[in-house]
Amino acid sequence: MSDETSENTSFEYQASPALTAAEVINKKVKRHSFAMKALWALLAINTIAAIFLGSVYKQTPVDNGMGQIAIASSNYDANNANAKNVYQQQVVNGWFEKDALTAIADQNATIIDQNKKHSWEVNLLLFNILITLAWLTVAFIRTSLVQTELLSEVVTRELE
């Protein structure tokens, strides 16, 4: 509802002396309750959309790389058992580091690829949550403003 329409409606209520304070309050409450029902309907639709997005977002199973780490570890054990001096142990340690870092790099690449696939879903879900919070904020502010306006109207009518 535009500000101009609400001002005209409000002006009509004030210009009509036949209306009692209770009638004025009832009309304003009805207007406010319709707006709040519409707001809650939008919130319900938004919640259903969030539930749908949450159910759609499922991570695909990913190889966690433990197989590669196990192979690197068993190779390390076998090579370390054959190492006869400190220099050979340093070489064996280097081989293990290379194998372990390769497994870690593969894990990271898999995680990055998976995040790229699902980034739009996560962004949409976060946007949905932000919109819901904004709607709730508007609802509470609007309720406070209407209550203040109604209280002001009652006090004005009683002082007349």
Tens of pLDDT, residue by residue over 77-97, are 998 898 899 999 999 999 999
Over residues 8-36, the mean pLDDT reads 61
Picking from 102, 100, 105, the residue whose alpha carbon sits closest to that of residue 72 is 100
More reliable by pLDDT, 5 or 99? 99
Contacts 24+ apart (CB under 8 A), 2-11: 6/31
User: The whole model's pTM is what?
Assistant: 0.41
- Largest Cα span, the chain: 108
Percent of the chain with pLDDT over 90: 8
Residue found by looking up tokens 């209407």 in the block: 146
Is residue 160 within a helix (H) or strand (E), and if so which, with residue range? Answer: none
User: Does residue 2 come out as left (phi exceeding 0), alpha (psi in the -120 to 50 range) or beta?
Assistant: beta
* Gyration radius of the chain over CA positions: 33
CA distance 129 to 143: 21
More reliable by pLDDT, 80 or 4? 80
Tens of pLDDT, residue by residue over 127-144, are 877 887 887 788 778 777
CA distance 28 to 145: 12
Considering its fold, how many domains does the chain have in total? 1
CA distance 102 to 69: 9
Tens of pLDDT, residue by residue over 25-63, are 667 667 767 777 777 787 788 778 777 776 766 656 666
Q: Which amino acid is at 2?
A: S
pLDDT at 92: 92
Q: What share of the chain is helix, strand, coil (3-state, %, to 5)?
A: 90, 0, 10
Percent of the chain with pLDDT over 70: 71
CA distance 73 to 35: 66
Residues 6+ positions from 100 with CB-CB distance below 8 Å: 69, 72
Confidence of residue 98 (pLDDT cuts 50, 70, 90): very high
Residues 6+ positions from 56 with CB-CB distance below 8 Å: 121
Range of the structural domain that residue 22 is part of: 3-159
